[in-house]
Amino acid sequence: METSFLHTIVFKTGIVHLYWGHVVMWLLGFVFIYLAIKKEFEPLLLVPIGFGIFIVNLPLTPLMGVNEEGQRELINIFFHYGLEWEVIPPLIFLGIGALTDFGPLIANPKTLLLGAAAQFGVYVTFFGAILLGFKVPEAASIGIIGGADGPTTIYLTAKLAPHLLGATAISAYSYMAMVPLIQPPIMRLLTTEKERMIRMKQLRPVSKLEKILFPLVATGIICLLVPDSAPLMAMLMLGNLFRECGVVERLNKTAQNELLNIVTIFLGISVGATMRAESFLSPKPVFIFMLGLVAFAFSTTGGLLLAKFFNLFLKEKINPLIGSAGVSAVPMAARVSQRVGQQADPKNFLLMHAMGPNVAGVIGTATAAGLFLAILR
Amino acid sequence: MHDWPTALRIFVIGFSGVFVTLALLMVSILISGSIVKTAKKLVAEE
């Protein structure tokens, strides 16, 4: 009797259910937490994601499954209502909208086209993924990594290929954190020293009225043309209207801080918890990681090359380095443009010019996701 | 095995769709900017 009782107790611990895959995933989770703490790579996301990976790979933990009564377990509830119901990515966009100054984009609207060109990587990778044997909806979810926009990647993958959510989200956020490492060699390779030294005219001041009109105009245009992008675009622009209108400071602060922080916690832990050893340790996530890098490289290239193309016709030349900021990753990609520019000419200030394509990239990626949905659903 | 016709269609419609949408937004920003400028000028003249 006692032996049988002990036997039952032992089998109810996680220890006897452990296998090497769990340990590999713990190590991956610890690497994420290490990168966040030691290197400060996207710490707000990598800490909860790393912890999510760790706890979901502790055997028998009632966190990500369904219990005997058919009810979802704790993190599964966050995942289901937050990601599967598409609540979290639009709320993150609300916060991003409240944090973003679209002034540089309004002052120089042609930078919107650089943001569009930087979606090149999305479509090249989409093709690459199909070539590697992924189905079309899966390929779209992998391609969107090239937009360097975590919430959009999650939004699209949750709709088209939910089984790839962990891999695409991790790939997007990992490469976003590595933008300062990935982009500069490509930028230097595709530009001459002379091009990197181009100085751009100071941006005109943008009036408050223009900044208030922008979210209304942008929502109208984009949601009319690509209705499927509305959950992201509408929330992004609502957040921006909070910021610019100047009469809802409480809502603006909440969207920028408390709300954004709360949903980031739920997002991080839910994404991490999708990475179970049983499903994650297969060739597919490795391919997705490789394709994510291809996506970033081609997105950087697309923005740069269009800026160079513009220079064939423009009297006032554009520094092509700002084109690479068309990958979203706000504001890191713009900072990279500034840094690489200053290596060629220490007195050249490209940051504000690069913010235009940078925020255009956010709009471009959300539009690309909406178009994928419109075509594939 | 690969669904190339669908993939090609998505590439063409998707990539050009992003360009067209953002180009229209660019034009809208320019138009709204010039309307604001003209309106301000008219108000200042009055």
Select from A115, A157, A120 the least CA-distant residue to A135: A157
Question: What is the value of pTM for the model shown?
Answer: 0.93
Q: Summarize pLDDT for A279-293 with one digit per residue, the tens.
A: 888 888 889 988 989
* Residue A356: closest C-alpha in chain B: B26
Please state, for a pLDDT cut of 70, what percent of chain A lies above it: 99
Rounded alpha-carbon distances, angstroms, from residue A41 to A32, A45, A206, A354: 9, 9, 33, 21
| A102 touches B at CB < 8 Å | no
Of A310 and B7, the one with more pLDDT:
A310
B-chain residue closest to A371, CA distance: B14
pLDDT tens figures, A295-331: 999 999 999 999 999 999 999 999 999 999 999 888 8
- ipTM of the complex model: 0.93
- Residue A357 and residue A213: Cα distance in Å, rounded? 19
**Pairwise CB contact (< 8 Å): A367 & B22:** yes
Query: Among A161-175, A288-302, B13-27, whose mean pLDDT is lowest?
Result: A161-175
Q: Which residues of A fall within a CB distance of 8 Å from B40?
A: 207
Are the CB atoms for A256 and A95 separated by under 8 Å?
Answer: yes
pLDDT tens digits, residue range A92-138? Answer: 999 999 999 999 999 999 999 999 999 999 999 999 999 998 999 99
Over residues A162-183, the mean pLDDT reads 86
Residues of B in contact with A139 (CB under 8 A): 7
Distances (CA, A) of A113 to A9, A81, A309: 63, 35, 12
* 8 Å CB contact of B40 and A207: yes
Average pLDDT score over residue span A258-262: 97
Residue among B25, B26, B32 minimizing CB distance to A210: B32
- Residues of chain A positioned with their CB less than 8 A from the CB of B4: 130
pLDDT at A137: 94
Query: Residue B35 and residue B43: Cα distance in Å, rounded?
Result: 12
Q: Kindly list the residues from chain B whose CB atom is less than 8 angstroms away from the CB atom of residue A328.
A: none
CA-to-CA distance for A368 and B14, rounded, in angstroms? 6
Q: Which two tokens stand for residue A65?
A: 């499954």
Rounded to whole angstroms, how far apart are CA atoms A336 and A134?
32
User: Is A221–B40 a contact, with Cβ atoms under 8 angstroms apart?
Assistant: no
What percent of chain A clears pLDDT 90, i.e. is strictly above it? Answer: 75
B interface test, pick of A123, A156, A208, A219 with most B CB neighbours within 10 Å:
A123
d(CA A105, CA A69): 53
CB contacts < 8 A, A to B, total 103
